[in-house]
Amino acid sequence: MRREPRPKRSQYSMTEHTAATVSVAGTRRGRKYAGLFLVAIPVFLVAWMVIWPILTAIPRSLMQVGTDGSTSFSFANYQFFFSDRYSLNNLTVTLWTTMVCAALLLVICLPLALYLRFTSNRIAAFVQSLAIFPMFVPSIILSYAFIRVLGPNGTVDLLLNGVGLPRIRSPYLTPWGPVIGLVWDNIPLTVLILVSGLGAVSNATIEAARDVGARRLAILWHIILPRITNSILVAISFGVLGIFSSFTLPYVLGPAAPEMMGPFMQRTFRDLQNPPMAITQAVITFAFCIVFGLFYIRSVAKNRTP
């Protein structure tokens, strides 16, 4: 597992590897079908609940329903979205939040992953469990805890007040609110992917570099980073995909306007009762997400060719 730079796919190649060492041919064939069987359910669900809705959404967003109920092909929904200041502001704030979160995630998680990879003591084990902890906290609970702690007159304010310092400018209900929440929420996945990517960097290589006098930064720049670029790309694309379409944290912690695409779509669909526009917003969101999805697929594909 540690030697595999691709956490999502690693178990597959491992299965093949172990299967090759098993001499009985029948077991091998059985294993193959078991693999197909295991993968069939998720593939079917993805096709049914993700791919199919996307395929039906695209034509629906291009349809214009006339007053008499007739439908005609038109780009009107897209024209409206891209000429509407309000919608564009929402798209911009979504892109801004995603970019800021991705940058912060990298800045926070890379040192954390390096520490976890090259340290093995009790404190490291403790840090690791702390880093994974956000994975088990539902985002709605996180949101209310955030209001309690970082909100106005929250715990941080009380502590600052206790030592005679001025209050903080609370990020609650500003674009920074969702940023802080989303970064915290995405730390575990990013750290896990980076740590598994760092497994590809062997101790021997680093020791060899050290022997010839390479300094820490040089080792990081010339030895470690080139080997984990792929993992970084994967980690960032996973983070970005989740953040771009996030809902709860921007809904509870973010400002009323501009809003991120998640709350905006939900509001357009339910409160404004305008499904065609909500679908159009969704298609635009897919389009952005697909770019990051392609990053992920490309790096996986690149790694699979021998």
d(C-alpha 18, C-alpha 34), whole Å: 14
Residues 84-123 binding another protein (CB under 8 A) are 86, 89
270 touches another protein by CB under 8 A: yes
127 touches another protein by CB under 8 A: no
Q: Which of 14, 29, 36, 38 binds another protein (CB under 8 A)?
A: 38
5 touches another protein by CB under 8 A: no
How many of the chain's residues bind another protein (CB under 8 A)? Answer: 30
Q: Which of 174, 207, 222, 225 binds another protein (CB under 8 A)?
A: 174
| Torsion angle of C-alpha atoms 30, 35, 41, 46, degrees rounded to 10 | -150
Quick one: which segment of 28-36, 103-111, 127-135, 284-292 binds another protein (CB under 8 A)? 28-36
Lookup: tokens for 170: 């609370």
Contacts of 210 (CB under 8 A, 6+ apart): 219
**Residue that the structure tokens 């291009």 belong to:** 62
Smallest gap, in angstroms, from Cβ of residue 261 to another protein?
A: 14
Lookup: tokens for 252: 């509870």
Number of CB atoms found within 10 A of residue 283's CB: 19
Lookup: tokens for 55: 């395929």
204 touches another protein by CB under 8 A: no
170 touches another protein by CB under 8 A: yes
Lookup: tokens for 285: 């969101």
Helix, strand, coil % over all residues of the chain, rounded to 5: 75, 0, 20
d(C-alpha 266, C-alpha 99), whole Å: 22
Over the window 45 to 64, marking each residue x when it contacts another protein by CB under 8 A and - when it does not, the resulting string is x-------------------
Q: Which one-letter DSSP state was computed for residue 65?
A: E
DSSP 3-state assignment of 213? coil
Number of CB atoms found within 10 A of residue 35's CB: 15
Among 249, 241, 250, smallest CA distance to 286 is for: 241
Q: Which of 168, 257, 287, 294 binds another protein (CB under 8 A)?
A: 257
Quick one: which segment of 50-58, 67-75, 238-246, 268-276 binds another protein (CB under 8 A)? 268-276
Smallest gap, in angstroms, from Cβ of residue 157 to another protein?
A: 9
Q: Which of 57, 76, 173, 300 binds another protein (CB under 8 A)?
A: 173
Lookup: tokens for 47: 């096709």
15 touches another protein by CB under 8 A: no
Quick one: which segment of 58-66, 127-135, 190-198, 256-264 binds another protein (CB under 8 A)? 256-264
Catalog residues that contact another protein under the rule CB under 8 A.
30-31, 34, 37-38, 41, 45, 86, 89, 144, 147, 151-154, 170, 172-174, 251-252, 255-258, 267, 270-273
